C-alpha cells in the first residue's frame, strides 16, 4: 500500500516528538553543567588535588585555560588546603612537552614545592585523565599521611583567625570558610576528602560523570577562576553537553546515568 497523507502526518508527529525529547535531554544536560559551576564545596583540608590539563601552545607555552587551572590549585596548596597535586595531561604532539610537565612549571612559579607534585603524562582525554590518574591517587592520596602535620588543624585554625575568607571565596564563590575548616579539624584525618578535581567550571559536570562511571567514589570538585569570555564559555558549555550525552550513551544508559545525578541548586 502506498503511503498517504495520514502516514506522512504520523511520521511527522513521531519526528516532532523525537526532536522535542532530544531538546529536553540537551537542556537538562545544560542545566546539570550550570549547577556544577561552583563545584561541590569540599571540606578542606584535602589530601590531593587532581588538576586536568588543557592545550599547550607553540613552544610548550601554557594556554590560558591551563594557567587558570594550575593557579587555582596553587592557591589552595599555598593556603595549606591541599597537600599534594596531581597534574594530568599528555602530549598534543611529539614536539611538545606534556600538559602535565607544563603545569608543573607553572605551579612551581606559583610557589608549589616540586616534591609535592606527581605527573600523569599519557592521557589525551578527560576519560583518560581520570583512568590514568587513579593509580597515582590510590598510592599517594590515602588518609594516611602524617596526622602530626595537619591532623591537629593548627595551620588552618591560624589561617581561619587571620581572615574570614578562603581562597575560593576570593573569586566570588563559596569556599571553605571558618565553619568548614573547624569541622575538618574536628573530624580527624580519616574523614577528610581524599581527592578534589580542579578544572574550569564548565568542565566539572563531565568530570564527575566520568568519575562516577569509573568508580572513583565521591570525587569532589573545585572550579578555576572565571576569566573566559561569555562567548567562549558558551561554546565550551555546548561542547561539554554533547560530550556528557556521548559518554552517557556509550557507558551506562542515559536513563541510568541520570538517575545517579544529584542537582545542586
Q: What is the pLDDT of residues 151-182, one digit of tens each?
A: 334 333 333 333 334 444 434 433 444 334 33
Secondary structure (3-state) at 95: coil
* CATH number of the domain where residue 211 is located: 3.40.50.620
Residue 132 included in any domain: yes
Q: What is the pLDDT of residue 160?
A: 36
Question: Domain range holding 103?
Answer: 46-259
Residue 216 included in any domain: yes
Residue 25 included in any domain: no
- Decide which of 193 and 198 is more confident: 198
CA–CA gap between residue 99 and residue 61 (Å, rounded): 10
Residue 225 included in any domain: yes
Residue 224 included in any domain: yes
Residue 165 included in any domain: yes
Q: What is the pLDDT of residues 46-104, one digit of tens each?
A: 999 999 999 998 888 999 999 999 999 999 999 999 999 999 999 988 888 999 999 99
| Helix, strand, coil % in the chain, rounded to nearest 5 | 55, 10, 35
Residue 18 included in any domain: no
Give me the number of domains the chain comprises: 1
Band the pLDDT of 211: cuts 50, 70, 90.
Answer: very high
- Decide which of 233 and 86 is more confident: 86
Please report which helix (H) or strand (E) contains residue 242, including its range.
helix 230-250
Q: What is the pLDDT of residue 156?
A: 34
Band the pLDDT of 251: cuts 50, 70, 90.
Answer: low
CA–CA gap between residue 164 and residue 73 (Å, rounded): 20
Residue 122 included in any domain: yes
Amino acid at each position: 500500500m502506498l503511503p498517504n497523507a495520514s502516514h506522512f502526518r504520523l511520521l511527522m508527529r513521531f519526528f516532532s516528538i523525537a526532536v522535542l525529547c532530544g531538546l529536553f535531554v540537551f537542556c537538562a544536560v545544560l542545566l546539570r553543567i550550570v549547577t556544577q559551576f561552583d563545584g561541590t564545596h569540599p571540606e578542606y583540608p584535602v589530601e590531593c588535588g587532581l588538576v586536568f590539563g588543557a592545550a599547550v601552545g607553540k613552544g610548550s607555552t601554557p594556554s590560558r585555560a591551563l594557567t587558570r587551572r594550575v593557579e587555582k590549585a596553587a592557591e589552595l596548596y599555598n593556603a595549606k588546603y591541599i597537600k599534594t597535586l596531581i597534574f594530568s595531561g599528555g602530549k598534543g604532539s611529539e614536539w611538545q612537552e606534556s600538559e602535565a610537565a607544563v603545569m608543573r612549571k607553572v605551579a612551581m612559579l606559583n610557589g608549589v614545592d616540586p616534591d609535592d607534585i606527581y605527573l600523569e603524562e599519557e592521557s589525551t582525554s578527560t576519560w583518560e585523565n581520570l583512568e590514568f590518574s587513579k593509580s597515582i591517587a590510590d598510592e599517594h592520596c590515602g588518609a594516611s599521611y602524617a596526622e602530626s602535620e595537619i591532623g591537629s588543624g593548627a595551620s588552618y585554625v591560624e589561617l581561619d583567625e587571620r581572615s574570614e575568607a578562603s581562597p575560593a571565596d576570593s573569586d566570588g564563590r563559596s569556599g571553605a570558610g571558618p565553619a568548614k575548616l573547624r569541622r575538618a579539624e574536628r573530624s580527624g584525618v580519616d574523614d577528610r576528602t581524599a581527592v578534589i578535581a580542579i578544572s574550569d567550571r564548565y568542565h566539572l559536570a563531565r568530570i564527575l560523570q566520568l568519575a562516577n562511571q569509573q568508580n572513583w567514589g565521591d570525587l569532589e570538585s573545585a572550579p578555576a577562576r572565571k576569566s573566559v569570555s561569555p562567548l567562549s564559555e558558551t561554546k565550551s558549555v555546548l561542547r561539554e553537553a554533547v560530550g556528557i550525552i556521548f559518554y552517557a550513551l556509550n557507558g551506562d544508559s542515559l536513563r541510568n546515568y541520570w538517575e545517579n545525578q544529584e542537582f545542586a541548586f
